[in-house]
A and B are shown apart, each in its own frame.
Chain A
Amino acid sequence: MAHSVRRDAPELPDFSLLKRLARDQLIYLLEQLPGRKDLFIEADLMSPLDRIANVTTLKQHDVDKLYKVEHKPIVSTSDQMVRGCFLYPLTNWFLFPDVVNADKYYVILSVYFDISYSYFDVTTDEWSFYLLPLDDDIISLELPEFFRDYFLEGDQRWVRTAGSALHLLHSVYGPFSKVYGIGRCSKMAYESWREQVEEGEQRARQAEIGNVFLIDRDVDLVTPLCSQVVYEGLVDDIFRIKCGCVEFCPDVTSSDKSIKVMLNSQDKVFNEIRNEHFSQVFGFLSQKARNLQTAYDKRSGMNIKQMKTFVSEELKGLKQEHRLLSLHIGASESMMKKKTKQDFQELLKTEHSLLEGFEIRECISYIEEHINRQVSMVESMRLLCLLSLTENGLLPKDYRSLKAQFLQSYGIEHLLTFSNLKQLGLLVEQQPGETLTVMESRVGKLVNDKTAGKLTDAFSSLAKKSNFRALGRRLNLVPKSDEEYDLRVPRDMAYIFSGAYIPLSCKLIEQVLERDGWTGLEEVTRMLNGHEFAVTAGSNGSDARVKTDSQRIILVMFLGGCTFSEISALRFLGREKGIKFIVVTTAITNSARLLESMLDNHA
């Protein structure tokens, strides 16, 4: 019959290759300055660099010491000469008016001078490092500034970088057979990539990645603004995961110092709970603890020989697991303390009402109270934006009063923040006449599709708007709230938001993959401001029909960042459909990062 049998998901390609490429190039560049030298790097680059080449590797290649670049005179170990390499991100591309080539990401300055500056020699090289594999299925471009630069400032300089990243992936793991995308930036990145493919040589090889989906962050701004309740997302919201690494503070580790922990699939415990709804995590952890105890208990009935094999084979693994388990239990406890309080429940309730569109008045007064009581500024702003996005803007009266109260609470400088939010369409005032859109969607059901389309066109010209409600209905994003949602056995992607909302971005991906294109989604794309595309990139279409393993590996590229919740949702979708998703993102984001990038107070 129609549906093919669900097969086991295919193996993911090996992304450590990307790391190796970057490392080899870095070492090559460092060796351009022969002999012992120091390495000076920007503070922001510390963690990504550590993922690529750690201190031991650098030491092996004649790097004496690592310094953070500070704007003060350099004192080196050798008393006479300074020889070193400076590693700058090209984000500060204004520093290098002569070397602008943002296609490459970092600049290495090999510097060589004596303290009196009588002899000075500087050479510049570029280190093209733009893809950092954070995990088996997450690759980050580490460009947190992408969101603001592109969507707010209209600065397109990272588009080419995205294109180049895609090109690199294509040349190593491609050729891709089909590319889908939505959004203006996606389209430009796609074109930039195509250009680079045409310029370069083409090799025929076995593809490891079949299809690609490009999506702009501003297609779906609602999802990243929701509170995350999946374990990994929650850890990110509370402790902030940086480059796949989190620093657990002392009250988590129950010792007096904080510990840095790598969070990825290598961590067995974490790997099993990362995608779980938070309410399930505790049960899982305690079960795990019990299993561990039984494993330990096995010792009691052992003879010496068994004991020996136990110690040599199992004990180390158990110990490791034990350590991780206690860490995650500590983290969960700490999160529980913060999140199970009354306030959090109410916050979630408000969020869900906003998503469902019920009791908007109550929500507004909740937000008002939030602002008046000066609960966290970012939280307040997040709720305001969520309100605006789901309601197609605020009523002029509410808009003014909430804004005024916000300014009173958090300071006048947020006048600039509001202007940014408005420009991005995150927080807007309803234009008179916009209420018609609600009418229009009702009309749409009555008259035939064509006239409805015309109507929509007419209305969409009125203002940029989110159309969240209509989208929600069309794509069935908000499940009916009257049914009880069993979080233990999630039935759809909504579980990542406690069953209240299926993330729009992931739903779009699901729909497009199911339909193998955008046919049937015309109305949806119209509401999302269009710019959708689906291109068969492979040489012949008949090849694409063959469902090889690579066809079931799909690369999703988020331009402007994605959240851990979305990644969890995609993993869930992958398990359901027997496919694997690889997420490439300009950066891992969450509501706080997103909104903080909108702030404008350099005071």
Chain B
Amino acid sequence: MWASLASHLAYHVTTVINSVCVCVCVCVCVCVCVCVCVCVCVYRKIELYEMGWSLRDGLKECLVAAAPYGGPIALLRQPQRPSSSARPQLEIYSSSGANMASFPWKSGPVRQLGWTVCDDLLCIQEDGTVLIYDLFGAFKRHFSMGNEVVQNQVLEAKVFHSPYGTGVAIVTGASRFTLATNIDDLKLRRLPEVPGLQGAPSCWVVLTQDRQTKVLLANGVDLYILDNTSCTPVVRQTQTTYSLLCLIILALSPLTVCVFQTPPGLSPQACSIVNMAVSFSYKYLALFTDSGHLWMGSANLKDKLSEVDTKVRTPPKQMVWCRRPKSQQPSVVIMWDRLLLVAGECTDTIQYTLDEESVCVAELDGVRIIGGSRHELLQEVPSACQDIFKIASMAPGALLLEAHKEYEKSSQKADEYLREIKEQSVLGEAVRQCVEAAGYEHEPETQKTLLRAASFGKCFLSNYPPEPFVSMCRDLKVLNSVREYTVGIPLTHTQYKQMTVQVLIDRLVYRKLYPLAIEICRYLKTPEYQGVSRVLKHWACCKVQQKEEPDESIAHAVSVKLGEAAGISYSEIAARAYECGRTELAIKLLEFEPRSGEQVPLLLKMKRSQLALSKAIESGDTDLVYTVVTYLKNEMNRGDFFMTLRNQPVALSLYRQFCKHQEQDTLKDLFNQDDDHQELGNFYVKASYKEKKLEARLSLLQSAVDEYNKAKNEFAAKATEEEMKLLRFQRRLDEEKGEALLGLSLQETLHALLTSNFHKQAEQLYRDFRVPDKRYWWLKLTALAEKDDWEEMEKFAKSKKSPIGYLPFVEVCVKQHNKYEAKKYVSKVTPEQKVKAHLAIGDLEGAAEAAIERRSEGEISTVLSRCSPTTDRALLERLNRARSTAAKK
């Protein structure tokens, strides 16, 4: 087997194996870089760093957590002899093993360590408390995973990452799972019980699927999926009888059909699942059974990728996925005490022996293996590298590399190679391959060789776009600088593209590598907002924490450095200063803040509420004003609060709006304070409508009258008094006659009285309230007409001279379709309205007479317009004649 593999070995060969004419390029670090292949996939192990730490016992007896994307490593070393005096030691290192922090652990026993996406260290204690430290071991905050955990203790915990941020999952002594999907926005979800589970499950993972976080767990032979609402058993079709049973269950409960899922094709020998791993992207799942079988498939348990018999029956220490994006090959790295095994699609596996205690860290495109003395990267060799460096490769990239090498040697062979590429017209492809491969290489020398070859090839192409080459050069420069031993972030190009420059800058800032971060921003020409300014802000936040320097010099230093940078939020820096107890410095810094709105929250915190209010108003943001007002309301005594508002009309009107909706009584106090009697009166009137009881209503109205009097608004006072009078009158009448009048307006009351024949009472109201004659006549008229009480109407018409004339009588009658009655009043109508009256009852001739008599041109025209072809010719002629004479005048 070894021999067959040897033919596939790529680019670790020192001597040139010459076949046909291809020279295989030579790699620099021969000893550390070993490539092995499984089936069609080639793997390589690159040494990233020789660790700078000096650990006495390697990683033995340590709780280790290493963050992905070349993040930091945390170690919690248990003391040799457990005694009360000996404390465990917590140490934080960079990926290259440079010490960043080290301190004795003084809190409770720790179950699990983990890193957040912002490079904070999470220490999950047995009692469910999670402590958060920054990279340099400074305590930030803590939270708890629930009260019940204190009693039951955390058995196991996992830290996981999802699009929502960093999450924590625990399983307690009571075998219950609790999840928090995002520790920055803590919401604990207690998952349903798992049937038959005692203690911790044999193994479990956290999955993020369809925006939901689930737990997949194995308890012996059984697999379960736990989500927010339910615990779904995964049925394994190991035996036919089992399937039969399944069918019966299905038949009995058709509703549950959809919930049954199975890992397809998990062979019958597979019994108990002892370990499982989910891939970096949560797309794939690997299960390891106690029979030594490894099952690989999709995380939704729908498809199987492959199954491998590892022939090792001991449960592995660690199992992680090792696959690069877009690669079709599934592969899992399994680690035992002394053995590292790469299992892929076919039954062959690659084995490495481990000479020291190690930890595997899953990455986007590989696995990092951290040992006591070495830090290595195991990954599938990218196809571009394979093509170029494979022995006897005829790929365009390989030819181009060779051509360039000959060119360097001033050999004419260069031309031959070039011709060969050009004949196949794959020069573009060759350049692309070389550029791509350069990205995957870790050694700057190899990168340079490849890039030079690419640049050489580019010369012979007329319209090859320069962007890929240029941006690759830039990226590599950045990557090489952060891979530097002192920085210690061993990012691959794929990871770098995935994590983006912004995040990389953030990571540098967390490590307080401000100059490098700024250099990178400038080099990549990142917009100031996201780049230099952001770094400077962090720098300033860090600067203000330096206790030994005086306020003056810090403020000066900050303003000088930040002066020209755009988009700096001084308020954030000031807030940090305030947090460190440097109020004076905070105020000094706030003065630099150009946006007044930004200053408000901090000013409030520092109890400069008056200033905060005026700044909030200045900003024009009413929400901010409202925030300050609510704050002031709780902070100040009432009198002072009102006085403050009085000087700020914007805030006052906002607060009034609030009171109108929420606190009517406060509104009253507010008006009282201002001696605003008019508004107080209005307030009482409004309140009276909400009051059902008449007595209370009257007393409210009386208060309104008093206030109106104080406001010298006689009209309103009188109107309110009359309303009270009316209310009393209505009540009396309601009691006496059983009419439902209460609450009607004067007019409505009158109308109601008139239609119910209470003429006497109506008369009384009419006199008492000095209702204008016109109104009263109109009212009575319509009321009578509505009742068809024509007799009474006639009497009414004759009672005295009508103040509204008699045309309304005619119109009202016509409206009630009583022309006969209408005619009675036509004669009484004034000459000016005669025409109208006649027309209203449809008496054309009468109208004509009246119009001609009055010799009014307009009126004659009106009459004419109403004439139809059927009207009397003579009448028409008369009208026309009359009009012309009227017009002559």
Q: A residues bordering B, Cβ < 8 Å? A: 31-32, 34, 81, 94, 97, 100-103, 121, 149, 153-157, 159-160, 163, 188, 191-192, 195, 199, 201, 368-369, 372-374, 400, 403-405, 407-413, 415-416, 419, 600-603
Contacts and interface: CB of A to CB of B under 8 A. Distances in A.
B620 A191 contact: yes
Contacts of A373: 778, 782
24 contacts: A34-B210, A94-B658, A97-B630, A101-B623, A103-B621, A103-B623, A121-B189, A149-B657, A154-B649, A156-B622, A160-B620, A160-B622, A192-B620, A369-B778, A372-B779, A400-B715, A404-B715, A407-B746, A409-B747, A411-B745, A412-B723, A415-B682, A416-B682, A602-B686
Closest 9 CB pairs between A and B?
A157-B622, A603-B689, A411-B745, A154-B653, A412-B723, A372-B775, A408-B746, A34-B211, A100-B623
A410 B306 CA distance: 85
Given A94-B661, A405-B775, A408-B745, A102 B620 contact: no
A415 B685 contact: yes
A240 B211 CA distance: 44
Interface string B482-511: 000000000000000000000000000000
Nearest to B748: A411
Contacts of A103: 621, 623
B650 A156 contact: yes
Contacts of A407: 719, 745-746
Nearest to A97: B630
B716 interface: yes
A153 B689 CA distance: 21
Nearest to B595: A199
Interface string B181-218: 00000010100000000000000000000111000000
Contacts of A156: 620, 622, 650, 653-654
A191 B596 CA distance: 14
A412 B720 contact: yes
B656 interface: yes
B769 interface: yes
Given A368-B774, A410-B745, A404 B719 contact: yes
A446 B661 CA distance: 54
Contacts, number: 116
A191 B619 CA distance: 10
A349 to B, nearest CB: 13
A192 B618 CA distance: 11
Contacts of B771: 408
Given A400-B715, A415-B685, 9 more contacts: A156-B654, A157-B626, A159-B622, A160-B621, A368-B774, A372-B779, A404-B715, A407-B745, A419-B678
Given A94-B658, A155-B654, A369 B774 contact: yes
Contacts of A369: 774, 778
Contact of B719 (A160, A192, A409, A415): A415
B716 A372 contact: no
A34 B720 contact: no
B466 interface: no
Interface of B: 187, 189, 210-212, 229, 529, 595, 620-623, 626-627, 630, 649-650, 653-654, 656-658, 661-662, 678, 682, 685-686, 689-690, 715-716, 719-720, 722-723, 726, 744-748, 769, 771-772, 774-775, 778-779, 782
A100 B685 contact: no
A553 B748 CA distance: 53
B627 A100 contact: yes
Contact of B620 (A100, A159, A400, A410): A159
Contacts of A31: 211
Nearest to B781: A373
A601 B689 contact: yes
Contact of A416 (B630, B685, B778): B685
B162 to A, nearest CB: 13
Nearest to B708: A415
A499 B189 CA distance: 70
A184 B112 CA distance: 61
A600 B686 contact: yes
A374 B779 CA distance: 9
A408 B769 contact: yes
Contact of A153 (B212, B623, B653): B653
A188 B775 contact: no
Contact of B745 (A34, A154, A199, A409): A409
A567 B218 CA distance: 69
Contacts of B620: 156, 159-160, 163, 188, 191-192, 195
B622 A413 contact: no
A254 to B, nearest CB: 25
A415 B716 contact: yes
Contacts of B685: 412-413, 415-416
B623 A157 contact: yes
Contacts of A34: 210-212
Nearest to B662: A94
A156 B616 CA distance: 13
Nearest to B187: A121
A602 B689 contact: yes
A412 B745 contact: yes
A32 B630 CA distance: 31
Nearest to B620: A192
B657 A416 contact: no
B352 to A, nearest CB: 42
A154 B775 CA distance: 38
A601 B656 CA distance: 18
Contacts of B657: 149, 153, 155
A100 B715 contact: no
Nearest to A121: B187
Contact of A100 (B529, B626, B772): B626
Contacts of A154: 649-650, 653
Nearest to A374: B747
A60 to B, nearest CB: 17
Nearest to A400: B715
B730 to A, nearest CB: 12
Query: Which one of A121, A400, A413 has the greatest number of beta carbons of chain B within 10 Å?
Result: A413
A603 B719 CA distance: 18
A117 to B, nearest CB: 15
Nearest to A92: B661
Nearest to B714: A400
B715 A102 contact: no
A415 B720 contact: yes
B250 to A, nearest CB: 22
A406 B803 CA distance: 19
A419 B187 CA distance: 51
Contact of A408 (B211, B649, B654, B747): B747
A602 B683 CA distance: 12
Contacts of B211: 31-32, 34
Contacts of A415: 682, 685, 716, 719-720
Contacts of B745: 407-412
Contacts of A94: 658, 661-662
A581 B726 CA distance: 54
B656 A153 contact: yes
A97 B661 CA distance: 13
Query: Which one of A101, A103, A408, A416 has the greatest number of beta carbons of chain B within 10 Å?
Result: A408
Contacts of B682: 415-416, 419, 600
Query: Which one of A155, A413, A415 has the greatest number of beta carbons of chain B within 10 Å?
Result: A415
Nearest to B771: A408
A249 B211 CA distance: 47
A407 B770 CA distance: 13
A201 B720 CA distance: 59
A202 to B, nearest CB: 12
A403 B715 contact: yes
Contacts of B627: 100
A405 B689 CA distance: 21
A191 B662 CA distance: 31
Nearest to B678: A419
A404 B718 CA distance: 10
Contacts of A160: 620-622
Contacts of A372: 772, 774-775, 778-779
